[in-house]
A and B are shown apart, each in its own frame.
Chain A
């Protein structure tokens, strides 16, 4: 669905009930299913990845293969802030974040995390703001490959900087035992992020901004010829998506604890392409699509990892091919087409 028709954005009782139900499920899940907590956290972060990709790729038509750039920037900047507030980052990485030397108490950990998340958003957004004018003038598949290059180059560059751990990567701070279940904290942070992301994008797409993005996607030259502020809209969309990707990356880094420059932070061939797959699977260019796609993807990924161990990456590669070739409209797109066909039959 493209920008929703104005006037349908009221909070009627049905809508409120739906939102309430989602909230309730979200809040209660880790308490009911503690064994799946980390997968659920990962799912929430994937939802943010997919939504953020879709804002620029699905709604605006600029299909980026290098959004991992912002994920990685957020991940590293947050870790640097979390560590750097209390210790020398270089020394920390030389010692591979040794547990006994570099201890973080509860307040240090929490303050570090909080400031780290903010720094992640700012750093990622700033990166997008600086690169946007250069790269958003490029269109179509050239943009796709250019961003692919950016994402991978960033990973290679990061792997060459010893200060942040170089090729051996970096550990996020050890959560103190006195904090309790850090996983639960990360879960609720991820939940808040996913909700904030969905709400923000729902709002954005209900304004004229959403119309401008769709217009750029459908015919950028026409949009320019109608006087729409395309350049600024493109940069704005990229910066907004980047900020969310950065925060999600920072949370992801704290969840997996170990940040490898090319496998975790700037993982072009995994997370980078997964977010595209998720948006496509659910239905790109819609608000619900990336969310549905992320859920489906996460389930599929868990199934592959469990039953196809050893060949799971191959299976995911095959899934990418199958979805791209046979199912590019995704579930929401397929449902729309079916409902339209049923409308046409007398």
Chain B
């Protein structure tokens, strides 16, 4: 990545996340817990807490195959209020036609960061009887959006008059088998078009160090901005649930034991402390460009974690939420004219 400050033209998307990462600043993103509600205020309440301490907010796409407000709708609300979302798109629920349409629509609403995922299987969720789609896989999705962005066309070859400007993200999980394949899979994702990476929860720092060593040996650490996924554990029971029920989450026994030995009133505090320690450890690893905080149902802890990890203040104050969407729309239009 180019460390010199590029002009607006040089940016892939011009998103705040891209600007921070390409300036070589340590980035912080956080996951918004999507509401089970039709009230937009619930999205804004959750976003307000996060926006003060992070550079971009991830809107999940029915993660764990559980239905919540859709990522595209959350992003619409967030961009309207001037927040910077990372829209997650999973291949589980939609085929290539629906996904390409959603990507265009999201870009039209001001979404500039897109995280391309395969998605948890339907069997992981509370409606396992649903049909799984998986028309594309995450690498197909990355390349498809890259084609839309860089070549200005759909997969059919039909032209897109104004291509979407998107900073493309992908996920990696270095903590599950086949371990030696994981860096090669990252290489495939970069080849397919990934500009940034958000990893699965990192609780096993030695494993992650080995992975990053392999990534550096392949010479691909400079070709992508890698954000490490972290999050607090509420208790040893929560940890046990996550590592047995949530696909792809690996938590070493030492961490579960440490929580188990902690008196119950202190468990949440220790869980937070473990998270802060992990951030401080991974920050020292070469090739790590930021962290991605996922605090499921513990949003109130995100600000404390980021502060205690010494990651405040964030570069540039986040814009204050704007209750009038029309102002934002005008700003967005002006923004696009500037870049043309």
Do A and B make up one complex?
A: no
Residues of A within 8 A of B (CB): none
